[in-house]
Amino acid sequence: MYNPTVARLTYRALLGRRRALILFVLPALLLVIAAAVRGFSGADDQTASDVLGGFALATMVPIIGVIAGTGAIGPEIDDGSVVYLLAKPVKRPTIILTKLIVAIAVTMAFSAVPTLLAGLILNGNGQQVAVAYTIAALVSSIAYAALFLLLGTVTRHAVVFGLVYALVWEALFGSFVSGAKTLSVQQWSLAVAHKAAGNDLITSDVGLPTATVLLAGVTIAATWYAGRKLRALKLAGDE
Amino acid sequence: MTTLQIDHTSRWFGNVVAVNDVTMTIGPGVTGLLGPNGAGKSTLINMMAGFLAPSTGTVTLDGGTIWRNEGIYRHIGIVPEREAMYDFLTGREFVEANAELHGLGSSEARRALATVEMEYAQDRKISTYSKGMRQRVKMASALVHEPSVLLLDEPFNGMDPRQRMQLMELLRRMGEEGRTVLFSSHILEEVEQLASHIEVIVAGRHAASGDFRRIRRLMTDRPHRYLVRSSDDRALAAALIADPSTAGIEVDVQEGALHIQAVDFGRFTALLPRVAREHGVRLLTVSPSDESLESVFSYLVAA
């Protein structure tokens, strides 16, 4: 269910594009912010949690998820080069699963690692804040990668829709409409982080059982549907 | 694995019919799929390549359905029309990746690159390639697993004459080896030079089928319409209508021109200047009024 050639092509496509710059810029920004906050106001658990929750988990992880998830397949479908993968005796679900694994790995590498580092800079993992947010970043990486990979197979404007979901739905809408929070990858991963931290510095509007079920459900459903879409992908002909 | 069978196949997009009840069999050798732009050639090739489901009818390779059958790609090689092809790789990396996806290795990739004579540029990035070089690397990627069926969508588009000749030579060789080679084109001369068998598609319909001599005759024997302006239209018309190569002449007074319908193309083109000279009439304009590819092809549909 994993094809190393597909993975290699996907990694190179993802990291070789100009868009990949964002993958480096956002984590760097997070580390700069963490260093600055630590420098100005010293180590404080609440501040650490605010920075990691407000910037790392709410903004950086979803944007990196959008770049990695849509970028793992969208451009290939857009420009038609995906035919070189499709015209091979390789099962379509294998192609999708491989691309998902790559998207998850890239999202994790560029979001969880800097989150851990920023947490260590902010308060040296006091109250388990750094580790808890890192776990949240790892968990949400999986769901975001799957969601945005699906988006990449469904629409040409995957990046735009992805950003709208990540920034408008998760960040803005969620703070006005409480129901929207139940349907938010961020809240689900916060539930996991809350459990990991074992204190109330990190809170979620969703309970852990619900969060776990929804995380797993969304990931599996999105991957399954993306595989289906690819199986019956209609290549836009030139006619 | 060599015979493609298209059986009462139609394909529509919304309420646009791209391919309309086409039935054809494509066997070993080189077959040209000829038709004007927008006739449905790409749609047909995409169905044969398994990228598009027929709306009705079946598309099979030796009896096996092509749509949703990944295993069929062991026998089919595809050269798509679109340019995009992992430009960030070198030619060799690209062909090797294609080989790996077939479960093959670098020796097969090397052989395929040698077949298309691209070894000299194989370590350059594809983004630096010319159109002809891209086409050859695409060919190498399609040949890497020695397929018995090769499908090429407008392979000669944008190639210079030398590249065109090289590719024709290569395809001819593939055909002689007993492979089924199908390529699409909207240029009769291209198809005529290469294909032993021609299928003509016009407006989604299968218009004609046969060897190129038959198609060529159909094309040249069709009635030709000309618009002629001269110093004395009526005298010219009177002289021309006496000859059996013209079927009708209309004197268009408002336009100040003759609309001539010729039935024997070869004879008429020799007749017109001779008759004009004999009657002392000066020809001012002679222009074919329906030489558009579309009208040529639609004549074929009626034939």
Per-residue pLDDT tens digits for B216-246: 667 666 777 888 999 998 999 998 898 888 8
B84 touches chain A (CB under 8 A): yes
Per-residue pLDDT tens digits for B16-45: 999 999 999 999 999 999 988 888 999 999
% of chain A beyond a pLDDT of 70 = 96
Mean pLDDT of B36-58: 92
Please say if the pLDDT value at position A217 is more than 50: yes
Rounded to two decimals, what is the model's pTM? Answer: 0.83
Pull the structure tokens for residue A88: 């091979």
Chain A residues whose CB is inside 8 A of the B100 CB are 4-5
Chain B residues whose CB is inside 8 A of the A16 CB are 88
| Amino acid B10: pLDDT | 96
Per-residue pLDDT tens digits for A75-133: 999 888 999 999 999 998 999 999 999 999 999 999 999 999 999 999 998 889 999 99
| Amino acid B118: pLDDT | 93
Yes or no, beta carbons of A81 and B84 under 8 Å apart: yes
Per-residue pLDDT tens digits for A142-201: 999 999 999 999 988 988 998 888 878 877 776 677 777 788 899 999 999 999 888 888
Please say if the pLDDT value at position B292 is more than 60: no
State chain A's mean pLDDT as an integer.
90
Q: Tell which of B33, B101, B150 to mutate to test the A interface (max A CBs under 10 Å).
A: B101
| Amino acid B112: pLDDT | 96
A1 touches chain B (CB under 8 A): no
| Amino acid A181: pLDDT | 79
Q: Is B272 exposed, middle or buried (0-12, 13-18, 19+ CB in 10 A)?
A: buried
What's the CA gap between B264 and B247, in Å, rounded?
A: 9
State chain B's mean pLDDT as an integer.
89
Q: Nearest-CA distance from A59 to chain B in Å?
A: 30
Q: How confident is the model at residue A237 (pLDDT cuts 50, 70, 90)?
A: very low
Yes or no, beta carbons of B51 and A8 under 8 Å apart: no
Which distant-in-sequence residues (6+ apart) come within 8 Å of B279 by Cβ?
Answer: B232, B235, B236, B239
Q: Tokens 């852990």 appear where?
A: A208
B101 touches chain A (CB under 8 A): yes
Per-residue pLDDT tens digits for B131-161: 889 999 999 999 999 999 999 999 998 788 8
| Amino acid A177: pLDDT | 76
Per-residue pLDDT tens digits for B271-281: 899 999 999 99
Note whether B13 and B68 are within 8 A (CB): no
Mean pLDDT of B52-76: 93
> How far is the CA of B15 from the CAs of B12, B19, B55, B206, B248, in angstroms?
6, 12, 12, 19, 39
